[in-house]
Structure formats: C-alpha cells, structure tokens
C-alpha cells in the first residue's frame, strides 16, 4: 500500500512498519516523502516547540501589566524587659495594578507579540528547508540508483569482453596480455560498482532519516526525473526572495523587537504609577485577645531621579543591539542574494548540460559498438575497447548527473526564493505531533529494543573473539 494513503488516512506509518514482518519494498513518491517528513520529522518537532516558548513569553509580558494579588500571613512574638510576651498574627490580601510604567510594559508586550510571529516564521522556514533536504536526498538516491545500473552494465560488458578474449586466446588468435588487461579492467569496474551500491544505500539511509521511518525499511522510489522548465528571470527571483524569505522576515521582526527593547530601556527615565488595594486582619492572642480589621488604598508614584548612569547604560546597550539587528538584516539580505544567484547559475548550467550530454550518450554508444565489433573481427585494439567503454560510462554518468543536478538546483532556487509549501504540504505539516508524551509513547523508528540489545551483545562477543584471535 502506498505511503500517501497512510498520510491521508492519518495513520502512523512508523508504527505500521514496526509491525509488518518481512515487509516488501514500499512505493514512495517524492510528494509522499515530503509529506511524511513534514508530519514526522523530529527536528521539526523541536523547532516548533519554539512557538510554545514564545507564547509563554507573551503570557508573562501581559501578566506583568495586569492585576496581581498577593496574600500574606505572619505570626510574631515579642518580649521586652519588664513587659509580658506579646503573640500576634496578621493576615492580609493586597491587589496591585500598574497604571503607568513609562511604556515599559507595553513595549515588552509588543516585543513578545513580535517574538510569537518570529517563532511561527522560524517553523515555516524550517519546513521549507526540510522540504529541500528531502528533495535533495530523494534525487541523490535516484541518481545513485541509476549510477549503479550504469556500473552494472559496465561490469557486464567487461565480463562479456573478458570471456570473448579468453576464448580468442585459447584459440591462439590473441595474446596473453589482452586477457590480463581485460581482467584488470573487469576488476576495476567491479570496484566502481561496489562503491556505487554503497552510495545508493547511504542515500536511502539519509532519506529514511528525514522522513523518520524504520531505518531498515526497503523503499521503491517511484518519482523519476522529469524536466520542468524554470522561466523566471534572476532579478525577479531576488525581488521575490527579499519580500518572502521567512528568515528575512524574522530579521525584520527581531529588528522591531530591538526597537521595543530601546523603548523599554528608556522607560527608566520616566516615573511609574501603581494602584494598590488591600485588606488585613490583625489578631493578638497573648497576653489578651484582640482583633483589628483594616483596608487600604494606595496610589503610588515612583520616579528614579538618579541611578548613577544605570538607565543610560541600559539604553545605550539596547541601541547597540538595535544597530546589530539592522546590520544582521543587511548581511542576511546579502547572503540571500548570493545563495540565490549561486543556485540559479548552477541550475542554468545543469540545464545546458542536459542537451549536450544526451547527444554524447548516443555517440558513445555507437563508438563502443563499433570498437567491439572491430575487435571481434581482428581489426581493432584492446585499447579501443577500453577507451570506448570508459567514454560510454562517463557519458551516461554525465547525463544522469546533469538531470539530477538540474532537479536539485531548481529546488534550491525555489527554496532560496522562499516559496511557500503547497496546500497539501501544509496539511501534512499540520499533523506534526509535538506532545512529547505522545511522541515518546509511539515505537520509534529503527530496530526494536530487544533486538537491538541482542544485536549489541552479539557484536560485542564477536569483537571480543577477534581480540582474542589477535
């Protein structure tokens, strides 16, 4: 069953995989992989926790500007010379409301609101970056899989050639040196195949890690490369990025936050006004029993006239932080411009390579066929076979590289522009579970604990045996 069905049904794919004995390779399209990552990636869960932190900071800022109630209870005893001991108890409740704080409380509230917006933007940018990482990992795996196919075909051709040369040598029509040379080339081709197979497994491991599924789950990648043109000019892409990149919007939010920090610091130059209302009861129970009740209302004005330059230093520190925020925004705009240009030029370069490498593959195939036939007819040289086969492999690998370079760089350009997630991807991201208790209650991707412990013991015993053998 395709993974997308489990996403749309709201099922937990990881739990399914852990309960499927000997599961066959699951079909995984690129869009399925993106959706799964957005709904399951652990790093994204951590990032999204920042929204909760920002919300609590806003609650705190609002609370500091609201009505507060304090209850007190004290028990005292005293005795002085030539007097009896006095025991008493005092209970009081006081309510306090800040009427004017010089703008400090309002600035802190606005700063916290901007912090909430920044936290949401941070999550959105993390989602966009995760999408890019999944796309790159998916295409890396596809490229590696096609590379394996090319390497395997090269091994097959060299094996076929080695068999042919061996037969010709047995018949006395070829020299021993040709057999040795063809065997060496076959061995080298097998080495390249082994490396390609390993690269494919590593790419799949990276993809599984992003989408957070069982790390041993076999996958069948179903989305192949399909050329889709990119008709936007570089200048338009840069303008779009300046207006839509979430990290630039975050910088602007942080800049606005620092402006509020300056306002809060300058509030130290101004007075503060607070209203306090209280009721209290005093009880004396030794040497006699008496009760006393009271109520109070206080309108208090406080103004720090001289603080040895503390407020002035706080204002200057806040203004310096504001300057840093301005420069940070400028620097990040420059970085966005550079990264976007780099990805755009790389995409165009890969696009140009697509046509030239495709033609080169056809020519190399013809050249390799001619070289093999001439050698069989006794008119060609061993070196011609080797050169033609190497040229064919290189042409095919170059074509594969151009395809997936274009796909990756196109995705990088869209990411650098700050293009939003699609409606389907936003719906998948909305399924991300950030409740830690629920997350930890679900069996995690990977090997079951019992199997992992047994495997660890087995490896330890094998290593111990190897050390003894040494």
pLDDT, tens only, 7-20: 444 444 444 343 34
90, 278 Cβ separation under 8 angstroms: no
Q: Average pLDDT, stretch 53-75?
A: 91
Peptide bond into 287 cis (omega under 30): yes
> In the beta sheet, which residues pair with residue 284?
88, 290
Half-sphere exposure of 192 (CA within 13 A, CB side): 21
Residue 168's pLDDT is 75
In this prediction, residue 208 carries a pLDDT of: 94
In this prediction, residues 25-47 reach a mean pLDDT of 92
Q: What is the pLDDT of residues 367-387, one digit of tens each?
A: 777 777 776 776 666 667 777
Pick the more confident residue, 425 or 393: 425
Handedness of CA 187, 193, 196, 197 (dihedral sign): negative
Distances 336 to 35, 248, 326, 346 between C-alpha atoms, Å: 26, 9, 15, 15
pTM greater than 0.85 (yes/no):
no
Place of tokens 């402006």: 259
The two structure tokens encoding residue 470 = 């040494």
Residue 420 has pLDDT above 70, yes or no: yes
Residue 278, beta-bridge partner list: 94, 296
State pLDDT tens for residues 295-313.
888 898 899 888 899 999 9
Output the pLDDT for position 84: 76
As a whole number, mean pLDDT of residues 108-129 equals 95
288 vs 431, more confident: 431
Q: Nearest-5° angle of CA 68, CA 70, CA 73?
A: 175
The pLDDT confidence band at residue 130, using thresholds 50, 70 and 90, is very high
* Contacting residues for 451 by C-beta, under 8 A, at least 6 apart: none
Tell me how far apart the alpha carbons of residues 431 and 166 are, in angstroms, rounded to a whole number: 62
Contact 332, 249 (CB under 8 A): no
For the chain, the 3-state helix, strand and coil shares in percent, each to the nearest 5, are 70, 15, 20
**What pLDDT score was predicted for residue 459?**
62
Residues 6+ away with beta carbon under 8 Å from 379: none
Is the pLDDT score of 239 beyond 60? yes
- Mean pLDDT is highest, among 59-68, 366-375, 392-401, for 59-68
Average pLDDT estimate for 259-277 = 92
The yes-or-no verdict on residue 21 having pLDDT over 60 is no
Percent of the chain at pLDDT > 70 equals: 87
* Helical residues (DSSP H) of 171-244, grouped into ranges: 176-211, 234-244
Is pLDDT at 5 greater than 50 in this prediction? Answer: no
How far apart (Å, rounded) are the C-alpha atoms in residues 217 and 24? 9
Apex CA 418: angle with CA 416 and CA 421, to 5°? 125
Q: What is the overall mean pLDDT for the chain? A: 85
Joined tokens for residue 135: 């796309």
């Amino acid at each position: 069953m395709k993974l997308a069905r489990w996403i749309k049904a709201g099922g937990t794919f990881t739990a399914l995989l852990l309960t499927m004995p000997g599961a066959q390779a699951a079909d995984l399209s690129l869009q399925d992989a993106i959706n799964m990552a957005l709904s399951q990636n652990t790093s994204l869960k951590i990032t999204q926790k920042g929204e909760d932190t920002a919300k609590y900071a806003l609650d705190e800022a609002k609370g500091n500007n609201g009505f507060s109630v304090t209850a007190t209870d004290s028990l005292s005893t005293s005795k002085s010379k030539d007097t009896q001991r006095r025991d008493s108890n005092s209970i009081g409740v006081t309510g306090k409301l800040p009427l004017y704080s010089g703008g400090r409380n309002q600035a802190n509230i606005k700063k916290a609101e901007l912090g909430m917006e920044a936290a949401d933007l941070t999550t959105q940018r993390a989602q966009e970056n995760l999408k890019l990482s999944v796309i790159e990992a998916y295409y890396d795996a596809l490229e590696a899989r096609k590379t394996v196919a090319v390497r395997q075909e090269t091994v097959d051709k060299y094996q076929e050639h080695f068999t042919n040369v061996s037969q010709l040598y047995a018949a006395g029509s070829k020299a021993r040196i040709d057999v040795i040379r063809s065997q060496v080339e076959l061995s080298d081709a097998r080495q390249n195949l082994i490396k390609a197979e390993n690269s494919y497994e590593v790419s799949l491991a990276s993809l599984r890690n992003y989408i957070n599924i069982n790390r041993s789950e076999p996958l069948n990648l179903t989305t192949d490369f399909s050329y889709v043109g990119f008709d936007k000019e570089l200048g338009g892409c840069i303008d779009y990025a300046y207006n839509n990149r979430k990290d630039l919007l975050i910088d602007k939010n942080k800049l606005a936050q620092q402006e509020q920090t300056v306002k809060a610091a300058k509030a130290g130059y101004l007075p503060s006004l607070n209203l306090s209302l209280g009721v209290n009861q005093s009880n004396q129970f030794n040497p006699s029993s008496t009760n006393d009740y009271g109520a109070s209302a206080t309108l208090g004005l406080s103004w720090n006239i001289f603080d040895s330059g503390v407020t002035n230093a706080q204002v200057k520190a806040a203004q310096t932080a504001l300057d840093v925020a301005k420069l940070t925004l400028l620097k990040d705009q420059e970085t966005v411009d550079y990264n976007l240009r780099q990805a755009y030029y790389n995409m165009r370069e890969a696009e140009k390579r697509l046509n030239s490498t495709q033609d080169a593959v056809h020519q190399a195939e013809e050249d390799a066929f001619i070289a093999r036939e001439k050698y069989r007819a006794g008119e060609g040289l061993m070196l011609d076979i080797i050169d033609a086969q190497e040229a064919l492999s290189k042409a095919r690998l170059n074509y594969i590289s151009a395809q997936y370079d274009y796909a990756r760089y196109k995705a990088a350009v869209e990411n650098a522009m700050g293009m939003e997630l699609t409606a389907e991807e936003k719906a998948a991201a909305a399924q991300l579970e950030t409740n830690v208790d629920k997350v930890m209650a679900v069996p995690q991707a990977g090997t079951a604990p019992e199997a992992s412990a047994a495997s660890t013991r087995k490896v330890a015993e094998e290593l111990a045996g190897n050390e003894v053998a040494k």
